[in-house]
Amino acid sequence: MPPLPWMAGPAAGDSPGEVLVMGSTLQLKSFLRMPGFLRAAMAIRRQSLGADGCVGVALNTSLPRRTFFTLSAWRDRETLDAFVGSEPHRSFMRRYHPAMADSTFVFWNVQPDQLPPSWPQVRERLKAAS
């Protein structure tokens, strides 16, 4: 599956200062969970694109490694935390948590004109954090 490109969220252009960027690696234990997790990832992507405080999102995969990479930017930590605790994100993560082999999350701040970071930049940060 090709990467889903960066798409601006409703808060794009709202922040004159730094925004919070989050990158994640989500690896599944089994290929059997891939179709359902992919559907959930797409639903969460759609949800984030309508979420208050979302500056932008992108999604990438390594299907042979059962791995999903997410990239998102948020106005601040509060709006990211509100999104994580909202539905359907909360239920999907609860449902798929037992199916996860490994997860890594990284956070950093950038100026809005530095968005989006490249996938190599995101993967380097994730590698350093794991």
Q: Using one digit for the tens of pLDDT, what is the confidence trace for 18-50?
A: 999 999 999 999 999 999 999 999 999 999 999
Band (pLDDT 50/70/90 cuts) for residue 2 is: confident
pLDDT at 67 over 80: yes
pLDDT reported for residue 16: 73
Kindly report whether the global pTM for this prediction surpasses the value 0.75.
yes
pLDDT at 58 over 80: yes
pLDDT at 60 over 80: yes
Q: What is the mean pLDDT of residues 78-100?
A: 94
Band (pLDDT 50/70/90 cuts) for residue 71 is: very high
Q: Which CATH class is domain 4-129?
A: alpha beta
What CA–CA distance (Å, rounded) separates 115 from 24?
16
Q: Are 81 and 40 in contact (CB under 8 A)?
A: no
Band (pLDDT 50/70/90 cuts) for residue 3 is: confident
pLDDT reported for residue 17: 87
